[in-house]
Structures are given as C-alpha cells and as structure tokens.
Amino acid sequence: MAADILLSETAAPGVALLRINRPEAKNALNRDLRAKLAERFQALGADPEIRAIVLTGNEEAFAAGADIRDVAEADAIDMMTRPTEHHWRAIQTCPKPIIAAVRGFALGGGCELAMHCDIIVAGENASFGQPEVKIGIIPGAGGTQRLTRAVGKFKAMKMVLLGDPVTAREAESMGLVSELVPDDEVLDRAIALAKKISYLPPLAVRQIKEVLLAGQDASLETALMLERKSFQLLFASEDQKEGMRAFLEKRRPSYKGK
C-alpha cells in the first residue's frame, strides 16, 4: 500500500524515526513519497513531545535519487506547476534537529535529502553524489547550492560536473558527513545522538538550529546580531533557570521546553 512507503515510529522517548520504504526502487523519491515526507515533517515539527528526528532508508539505499519515471516525459510547465519546492521546504523549515542515518546510496535527490538534515551519520560503504548531469539535467533541490556550502566550490564543482559519486570516507573528509561508522552501527548511532539531543533544553536546541541556518547566508555582523538576540531571549525561559540551577547544585537538569 502507498501508505507503507514511509514508515514512522518512536525510536525512544522524544525521538521519532522515519524510514523510507521503497526497496523495489532503491528508495527513489517519487511524488507520493515526497508529499508524505513533507506531511510527516510538518506534523513532527509541531509535536511538542518530539525533540529530534532520525531519517533513514535501508541497507542498500538511503535514497537513490528521484524516480525518473515520474519526470522522464514531463515538460517545463509541468515541472513548474508541481509543488516540489513546498515539499522540500517542509523539511528545510522543520524546527526539530534531523539526523540522517545513511547506508548505501544517497544519490541525486537522496543526497539532497541528506543535506536537508542537520547531522549526517554514514556507514563506511555509503556513497554520495549528484549524477543529474548524466541524464541531461542539473540538481533541482539544492544540490548545487547546499553542496557548495557544505564542501566548497572546487569539490562541489567536481561532483556536480562529473556526476560521479564519492565514498563515505571522501564525503567525511570534505565535510559532507558528520560521522563515519561501521554499516551495522549507523542507525544505532543516529538514534543515540538524537536521544542525547532529546535530553537537552528544547528551546535552546531550536534556537541553535534557527540561528545557525539563518546566519550562514547573512553577513557576519548580521549573524552575530541574530546569535546575540537569541542568547538574550533564552534568559526568559524556565529551562535556562533550571539548567543553571542544576549546574550550581550539581544535579541533572529536567528540561520542559518552557
């Protein structure tokens, strides 16, 4: 059934796990799957019980790109009128930290999906790439822009112009991957990181994500102003008082997200 192409469960208290489930298509991102991803990220972003999200695929593929059958015969007007950018924006604007647990292929739209996340944990045999040039197009969901911001102009140019994938180890060395772990430890490690985040003050976590993402496209002076205002704002939270009191009293804090 179509509803099964995206599986959702609670991996731990406060941690949601989303699993792409199109193994027959190497988890390719068709329109239905992108819509379901957008719907789930919007719901999880608004759920006060969820503090972090883990996104994964299966052993063979995180996501091996867009489903070419969806677009092979499309014309420009058809592509312009599809709500694709709105589906991606739902992930981009999700206020909760998102951790990608990547095994196997993360190519094309799959690589772009991973780059929409905040932390990428990759297995040793994973591979990343933007091969769109090989079928006559360019990346269309941030593959030229997010990749350049992640790895720099020269590495990004090589990946996008040639369309060849890089290994997980190469991706880590160029700054595209946060952590590299054995394949069979990828999901456990991603969930462990999400659990650590879930114990931290949600308002501070949310502000860190918001300021970091907004600041990278602003001038340094503007970004520092955003950071300073966010820093000051958090002194109005109960969690700030709890965190500092717990530190002084040498006990574990209990954060409520207030």
Residues carrying an active site annotation? 66, 109, 112, 132
Q: How far apart are CA 120 and CA 115, in angstroms?
A: 8
Distances, alpha carbon 208 to alpha carbons 151, 213, 254, in Å: 21, 8, 19
Q: Is 128 helix (H, G, I), strand (E, B) or coil?
A: strand
Residue of 108, 117, 166, 101 whose CA lies nearest to 140: 108
Query: Which helix (DSSP H) or strand (DSSP E) does residue 196 occupy?
Result: helix 186-198
Q: Which residue has the tokens 């990343």?
A: 128
Q: Which residue has the tokens 């190469």?
A: 170
